[in-house]
Structure 1
Amino acid sequence: MTPEKTPARDVIPLREATRAWFSISLQTFGGPAGQIAVMQHKLVDEKRWIGQQRFLHALNYCMLLPGPEAQQLAIYVGWLLNGTLGGLIAGILFVLPGVLALLALSALYVGAGSTAVVAGLFAGLAPAVIAIVVQAVQRVGKRALHHPILVAMAIASFLALTVFKVPFPVVILVAGLLGWLIGTRVPAFAQSKDHGSADDGPAPLISDDALHHDAPSKVRGLKILVLGLVLWFAPVALAAVVFSRDSVFVDMGLFFSGAAVVTFGGAYAVLAYVAHQAVNVFGWLKAGEMVRGLALAETTPGPLIMVVQFVAFVGAYRNPGSLDPWVAAVLASLLVTWVTFVPCFLFIFLGAPYVERLRNNHHLTAALTGITAAVVGVIANLALFFTLHTLFDRSRTLAWGPVDLDLPVLSSWDPVAFAITAVAITLVFWRQWSTLRTLGVCAVLGLASTLLPL
């Protein structure tokens, strides 16, 4: 097959592309960096379906969007290779294994969460999550904080969230506005580091001109926007009709729809916001359970934001309304998964034709640079949240004027959690073990501490 004879909308035979995306979907462990690396190896190095520069071009666009950038990259590349159907297949397969796995693990947690085995697993997994989130702070900070102003913005966002409890969307909005203003006066502010090497890598079998493309069109954009919004909110509207506006399904559908459009910087950045709302506002689950949910999401393939599925499952099981708790849990889990990932398809199909225009917009780049800096502080706040509720059994609130700070009760410290956290930090930072391997060792340690008490 030569590039000249390749159909514009079917660059790679759809069946062959589907097999490749299914293979990728089973290897998407380790967060977005690992997921992007899997796609890079499979599509650029091994299959040579897309060139290195074209791959990075797509990645840079996805980094500008809210939501899981790795899944959006899969949708984008699938669209380039096989048009809209290719994008749908790539995006669905990317999350499907994780959805099924986390649904099963959530059911196991709810059904057997009080058993010694499950308790032991979580006793090891929760401390490991602390090390993983701290590593995320270090990695994102190293890439994003390349200017003193950005360091100051990261610290300010951390203090705003931790000490003054400023709402997460407000922090992101202010950071974007400041980034735009500063970028107009400090050119070096918006010069971000490259996402990867500029090396072109192996020559692709398919020329860039043969890849799928659509000319920007207001009519096309309006059709996609309307269809996307209808698909996005139809299940929420149906839940309101069937179960009433006050049902847990509508609350979850609306809340997680909003969360889906403010997840700049990946799942870690929005989890502090989700945790606060789910625990303190809606009461869907307890603070420590957010850590357990994240631990489960870390062990499954797919985007880490899949943890919202666990939140929905547990929350609906405990607030089922007139339904059987298990039926309510499954319905809520699927509903939240839908409203979380449908926007990813909308953003790619709607924005892809304009990608070059967006990437060359200096003002947009500056605003997103500010948001990325704030994200570092947001992830640090998440690390503190998990540390507080994992290493200590109780906490207290220090309220004084605008200050609203959560502090641990030192006498409630958990020596086992401290020890496993130290092991996890050693494995992640010194031994440089993978996420999955670290979680496995810590899970074994947690089981041992529970089943073989000293």
Structure 2
Amino acid sequence: MDAHNNNNLNSAPNPIPFVEAVFYWLKLGFISFGGPAGQIAIMHNDLVEKKRWISEKRFLHALNYCMLLPGPEAQQLATYIGWLMHRTWGGIVAGTLFFLPSFFILVGLAYIYMAYGAVPAVAGVLYGIKPAVVAIVMFAAYRIGLRTLKNKVMWGIAAAAFLAIFALKLPFPVIVLTAGLIGYIGGNYYPKYFKLGGGHGAAQKSFGAAIIDDDTPTPAHALFSWRRLRQVAIGGITLWLLAMAILMANYGWQGAFTQMGWFFTKAALLTFGGAYAVLPYVYQGAVEHYQWLNPTQMIDALALGETTPGPLIMVVTFVGFVGGWVTQTFGADALFASAFVAATVVTFFTFLPSFVFILLGGPFIETTHGNLKFTAPLSAITAAVVGVIVNLALFFAYHVFSPQGLTGAIDWLSVALTALASVAIFKYKANVILVILAGGILGMAWQLLA
């Protein structure tokens, strides 16, 4: 049991020193596999059940708020709890350490990918991983759909979103905003169709008294005030403007780094429904518009993102690294430097809004402790996300099964590997990491034996 825990469940553990919390958040950054569901489960097990830093009710109250925000909800939840326990710096440290290990791991993998991706063993691993990714994306659509598509209205929104992005090629932001508007209007007139399915209901368990318990008064720093709201808003906007100004002064508005900062700021504000939902938007921009990377590299980005700890949205770090490598901003003899700076820029602008949202809205949420509204727009957006993810799965399947395009031969081995991965995930509920590793091993064996 934690050193500061009290064996008597009726009394709360002693307050946790900031340094001890820092070590926990760092450890979490290295073990946070399994996507948002897995990451939230790890935090619940550690912070609610074992360490009793926060009660079940307060944990779910914070989580419900994070689910309403654009951005990675697990990282935002860590930021929220860190802020609640140790003020602003507690939130910043918790949120940063949640993704920092993943950043360095992905930078290392991206370097190996760009420098040695043509080596047969590496190429074989990537070849075997891609079919597994197709199965994983299909399962993501199935899982979200199972939770969301509870009635014909939700099914209709999902189908319309699929047609909008697949047939009409509408931009992802337009689809999100339209779905949100439909949800807002529908929630007012037909609320029974827009109840958020499979949400996080009221807490029903107690694991003993917690440091931040159900009836623990809101800490002074977490109380809502208009003055603090203005300070956080001005601070966040100033930080964003300063970063953009530095990039513009050094590289101009059309420079690769500046455009990455601008593009991934927009992407960060559109990640309702998780990373899978925003990937089509990242694809539209990074692959089709800016051409920072090609479709195959985009699939590889997701494959590597699935195998590392941290939020899945960290695939943008890989996208930035490849983009910086390709654009050669610092010249052909400094590819790694260009790539590293690009990855840093992309990661900074992707996560900055998440910190601002938590520090901005946290005091209001803590002060109210009531049921959150606005779930109808989120419900409609999540339904639209299902259609968008189905399109993403088809996009990946097309590039994996037919690498040379419609006129080329079908890669039947990739089809077979996707089928095996699908059976493992859908029927046997196999761990995603294990499925990816198995695909990589089979791909490497095939490549070396062929």
User: TM-score, normalised to structure 1's length?
Assistant: 0.92
Quote the residue 2:168 is aligned against. 164
Pick aligned residue for 1:115 from 99, 106, 119: 119
State the match for 1:32 in structure 2.
Answer: 36
- The one of 346, 349, 352 equivalent to 2:362 is 352
Matched, 1:219 2:227: yes
2:422 to 415, 422, 425: 425
Q: Does structure 2 retain, via aligned residues, the 8 Å contact 1:359–1:365?
A: no
CA distance in 1, matches of 2:419, 2:206: 39
Query: Where in structure 2 are the equivalents of 1:293-442 lying within 5 Å?
Result: 293-323=301-331, 324-355=334-365, 360=371, 362=373, 364-395=374-405, 408-409=406-407, 411-442=408-439
TM-fit CA distance, 1:394: 3.0
- Superposed displacement of residue 367, structure 1: 1.4
Q: Which runs of 4+ in 1 moved over 3 A?
A: 1-7, 210-213, 356-362
Tell me whether 1:105 sits opposite 2:109 in the alignment.
Answer: yes
Post-superposition offset of 1:190: 2.8
Which of 249, 259, 262 matches 2:267? Answer: 259
Report whether the alignment pairs 1:243 with 2:272: no
Identity %: 44
CA distance in 2, matches of 1:29, 1:282: 31
CA–CA distance in structure 2, aligned partners of residues 35 and 162 of structure 1: 31
C-alpha contact (below 8 Å) 2:260/2:320 kept by paired residues: yes
Aligned length: 437
Specify which of 233, 240, 256 is matched with residue 232 of structure 1. Answer: 240
- CA offsets per residue over residues 149-179 of structure 1, 9 Å max, x none? 0111011101110111011000000000011
Q: 1:136-151 counterparts in 2 under 5 A?
A: 136-151=140-155
SS at match of 2:69: coil
Q: Which amino acid aligns with 1:250?
A: T
Matched residues in 1 for 2:249 and 2:370: separation? Answer: 42
For the residues of structure 1 that align with 2:414 and 2:75, how far apart are their CA atoms? 33
Please state how far the C-alpha of 1:358 moved relative to its aligned partner: 9.7
- Match among 258, 271, 287 for residue 279 of structure 2: 271
What amino acid is aligned across from residue 434 of structure 2 in structure 1? Answer: R
Which amino acid letter does the alignment assign opposite residue 236 of structure 2? G
The Cα shift of 1:237 comes to 1.8
Please list the CA deviations of residues 377-404 of structure 1 after superposition, one character each: whole Å capped at 9, or x if unmatched: 1111111111111111133xxxxxxxxx
Offset at residue 4 of structure 1 (A): 13
Secondary structure of the 1:184 match is helix
**RMSD (Å) for aligned C-alpha atoms:** 2.2
The 8 Å contact of residues 130 and 387 in structure 1, kept in 2 or not, is answered as yes
Deviates further, 213-222 or 309-318: 213-222
- Among residues 185, 199, 204, which one is paired with 1:199 in the alignment? 204
Match of 2:296 in 1: 288
Whole-angstrom CA distance in 2 between matches of 1:4 and 1:445: 53
- After alignment, is 19-28 or 209-218 more displaced? 209-218
Q: Matched residues in 1 for 2:44 and 2:97: separation? A: 17
Aligned to 1:62: 66
- What secondary structure is seen at the aligned counterpart in 2 of 1:205? coil
Equivalent residue letter for 1:219 = R
Is the 2:61–2:369 contact (alpha carbons within 8 Å) kept by the matching residues of 1?
Answer: no
Counterpart Cα distance in 2 of 1:98 and 1:197? 32
Partner secondary structure for residue 12 of structure 1: coil
Structure 1 residues 440 and 98, CA gap change in structure 2 (3 angstroms): same
Measure, in 2, the Cα distance between the counterparts of 1:239 and 1:247. Answer: 8
CA-CA distance at 1:338 after TM superposition? 0.5
Maintained 8 Å contact 1:67/1:260: yes
**Kept after mapping to 2: 8 A contact 1:216/1:354:** yes
Whether contact under 8 Å (1:31, 1:304) holds in the other structure is: yes
1:448 match: 445
